Amino acid sequence: MILQLHIKNIALIEECTLSFGDKLTVLSGETGAGKSIIIDSLGFVLGARADKGLIRHGASQAQVEAVFDVSDSVGVKQKMVELGLEEEDTLILSRTMSENKSEVRLNGKIASLSMLKELGSRLVDILGQHENQSLLSVSTHIDLLDKYGEKEIFALKTEIATLYDRYREIEKKLSDYGDEQARARKIDLLKYQIDEIAQAELKEGEEESLLADRERFRNSEKILNAVGASASCLEGDEAYSAPSAVSMAMNSLKQAISYDPAIESLYNRLDSAYVELKDILDELTGYIDSFDFDDAKADFVEKRVDLIRSMKRKYGATVEEILSRYDVFQKEYETLLDADAEIEQLQKNRNEIYSDLIMKSDRLTETRKHAAKELKSEIERELSELGMKGSIFEVSIGSAEEYLSETGCDRVEFLISPNPGEPVRSLSKIISGGEMSRFMLALKVITSRLDGIQTLVFDEVDAGISGKIGEVVAEKLALVSATRQVIAITHLPQVAAMSDSHYLIEKTTDGSATHTSLIALTEEGIVKEVERLSAGAGTYGSLHAQELRSIALRKKDAIRSSNNSKLVRF
């Protein structure tokens, strides 16, 4: 549950901190005081889209921090571990936004927005006008029904989802094979590609060797001229070649060695130079004599290089990649040649899985129908207590094989007749705003005990409601708060009178700026706020606020001690 919410520079709020108890916390205030800012701030820190328009005028950034007690939230702790966080009993969500960036922290560690959303969806359930609108979307109805019948439905849905994944995988494989003509064309293409690569007889490293040969052949005249000139410089004429000049120098030095032994090292170096020069001259001459060039060989090299480059344009950037593609083509070719047997087996597997899917989907349909009957009974009872006696609620379940998906073969839609004698119709076509608020409350009263979310936020779910129905709404919130933490933004004195803790939201101005502040009310303050909310409220306008508060407290104690959905009358 949420322990504390700290808001800084959000809209009209400069800075404030709210502390929450584990039961029913009420927030109220004049219209325009900024009640929606609290919901926007909470949604922001839970991962909702960042609206930079929420940054307080004149501030560079806005920040919201929420502290949660997750000691009893097994699902939240498991998700914390999955996300790489340490398992702790306290979870602190922090989110900051400025014009240029947004930052998320989980227990002080930088985190991603997706991580924040995953945790936020498990911590708080916010219900308000937006959720009322989402209920009008038929696509949400199957999830709500499945949530209601979760114990019986979950296992079947898991089996169906697994089977459906396998079914889609096989369908894709069959689609990849294509029809028989397309398969034949593919086989012909692969055969051509395999033969072309095989006939090229490519070898790793061959291209580099060919390019070196081509460079040598293209510059053969320059090479021979350079080598010949070098040999001529060393060779000279027979009497004055470089080796003979070194030999003469050696003979001259040899006579002086006996007089100075230090000269011997110079003699030895000349001897080495003589041998090296003789070898170089021999190799230069041999290179010229053995230079292998003919037009046919040069033409072969050019054509071979062109072939390799053509293959690279078709099949890969390198010879190694082409040879790798060859192996892939070969395997695909062999697979397609054996396709008939493979396709037959895939079709057999697909048909078996499809039959299993339909059988399990039929079972799921029956399970949903059973859950729908129970949901109908509970919803109609709740609606009756919320002033919609005689309303008829139906869950329409249409089943067809063409609907098959990972959730089965059903299309689910909630239908309602809010007035006796009228046929049931779609929610969007018949239900009013006040009726929708009561329907959403009835649904949440029923489903709140089924999920693991510990904190429920009701954002003016009592819109369009007053009088005796307001009293019932207050009792329903008291009932839900017996097992869940509830935060309710309200305009009803009955709901305010039922609070365990209460914040008054006020808007003030000092002439230069407007501020929204939150005041934690004492018992006396709660009574005064109930009195303010009661003004002009018809039935309750003449009641003393203290009496209304006293009655509400006694009812709340009775409701929570009985912990059932029956209304308590005094």
Least confident of 67-71, 103-107, 123-127, 546-550: 123-127
* Residue of 210 and 142 predicted with greater confidence: 142
Least confident of 6-20, 179-193, 226-240: 226-240
472-501 average pLDDT score: 92
pLDDT band at 184 (very low <50, low <70, confident <90, very high): confident
The residue among 417, 489, 483, 420 whose CA lies nearest residue 450 is 483
DSSP state of 453: -
Please compute, for residue 520, the number of CA atoms within 13 A of its CA located in the half-sphere on the CB side.
9
Cβ-contact 376, 387 below 8 angstroms = no
| Residue percentage of the chain with pLDDT more than 70 | 93
Question: Is residue 466 pLDDT above 80, yes or no?
Answer: no
Question: How far, in Å, CA of 73 to CA of 85, rounded?
Answer: 15
SS (H, E, C) 484-521: CEEEEECCCHHHHHCCCEEEEEEEEECCCCEEEEEEEC
Phi, psi for 526 (deg, rounded to 5): -60, -45
Quick one: which H or E segment has residue 457? strand 455-459
| Residue percentage of the chain with pLDDT more than 90 | 43
Contacts of residues 277-285 at CB distance under 8 Å and 24 or more positions apart, as own/partner, are 277/234, 277/242, 277/243, 277/246, 278/243, 280/234, 281/231, 281/234, 281/235, 281/241, 281/242, 281/243, 284/227, 284/230, 284/231, 284/234, 285/231
Give the pLDDT score at 97: 94
User: Could you tell me which residues come within 8 angstroms of residue 541 by beta carbon, excluding any fewer than 6 positions away?
Assistant: 534, 535
Domains in the chain (CATH in brackets) are 2-128+424-562 (3.40.50.300)
One-letter amino acid at 154 equals F
Q: Which residue in the block uniquely carries the two structure tokens 């002086």?
A: 256
| pLDDT tens column, 16-32 | 999 999 999 999 988 77
Question: Is residue 158 pLDDT above 80, yes or no?
Answer: yes
pLDDT band at 336 (very low <50, low <70, confident <90, very high): confident
Question: How far, in Å, CA of 468 to CA of 383, rounded?
Answer: 13
Least confident of 186-195, 234-243, 330-339, 546-555: 234-243
Question: Is residue 96 pLDDT above 90, yes or no?
Answer: yes
Question: Is residue 539 pLDDT above 50, yes or no?
Answer: no
The residue among 47, 119, 44, 55 whose CA lies nearest residue 81 is 119
Give the pLDDT score at 413: 94
Q: What is the pTM of this model?
A: 0.65
The residue among 460, 416, 472 whose CA lies nearest residue 141 is 416
DSSP state of 52: G
pLDDT band at 570 (very low <50, low <70, confident <90, very high): very low
Q: Return mean pLDDT, the chain.
A: 86
546 token code pair: 């203290």
Least confident of 22-36, 186-200, 346-360: 22-36
Please return the burial class of 553, using the count of CB atoms within 10 Å of its CB with bins 0-12, 13-18 and 19+: middle
